[in-house]
Structure 1
């Protein structure tokens, strides 16, 4: 009987730790990268495909702005830029998605972890980059680059 309860306790601990680790997924990027997170119910969504096409044309400007592109579908996510990763299970990532009635949403998350831009249609790079370039930390980076 003791062995049974120990097994249950170990199993519960593993579940709780893995859920905590998954919930931390976006926090891992905080203060290191800005994120563009594309939420879609399915990767065949036309808005998702349009968003990737728009962003893929401008990837050279991503590095300069410390941007990473993440695709999130129900229950998992993957990095698309700067490199492509495999799918990572993460049931918590969808909590960032507030427009639950939409089948597509894209967010810009700042270095501080706050949502800076959110919409249910693809971002234009002009809007995305102008939003980032108006941020105080980005302005400081631009000033530093100008002094070199």
Structure 2
């Protein structure tokens, strides 16, 4: 009996951990975080590295706007939570994200997803941080956040 309970707990723990490390569910962020996805097929890509550099010294502004980042290289990702670094993790890109959001034919992509879970911008050129902040700051929910 005791062994059975321990086995069940271990199994449940493995299932929960594997779901975190082998896929991501963007709906977990709905109404909590805005999502930036920066995708490349080659981490040596100049566009990819310039895009990441664009946000490097803007941690305060990213936190303020509730932004989290998914850096995607082929079928691997790393997640960056600017507010709680203990929540950062990495794993494999889920089929759902790969098929429904990412353009597999593009070497570089940046995608902004709002609090409502809707794609606000998706492009294959570098997105300046000022543009991102301007887009977010024009959203009704962000205007409400700034008023409060």
TM class by shorter chain equals 0.7 to 0.9
- Partner SS, residue 32 of structure 2: coil
Residue in 2 that maps onto 1:50? 50
1:87 aligns with 2:90: yes
Relative to the length of structure 1, the TM-score reads 0.76
Query: Cα offset for 1:29?
Result: 1.0
Residue in 1 that maps onto 2:128? 124
- Partner SS, residue 133 of structure 2: helix
- Partner SS, residue 105 of structure 2: coil
Query: Cα offset for 1:23?
Result: 6.3
Counterpart-to-counterpart distance in 2, 1:91 and 1:46: 25
1:1-148 matches, cutoff 5 A? 25-82=25-82, 83=85, 85-92=88-95, 93-95=97-99, 96-98=101-103, 100-144=104-148
Partners of 2:37 and 2:110 within 8 A in 1: yes
Unaligned runs of 5+ in 2: 1-17
Partners of 2:23 and 2:92 within 8 A in 1: no
Structure 1 residue ranges (4+ consecutive) displaced by more than 4 angstroms after TM superposition = 21-24
Relative to the length of structure 2, the TM-score reads 0.76
- Partner SS, residue 87 of structure 1: strand
The higher radius of gyration belongs to 1
Q: How well do the aligned residues superpose, as a CA RMSD in angstroms?
A: 2.4
Query: Cα offset for 1:30?
Result: 1.1
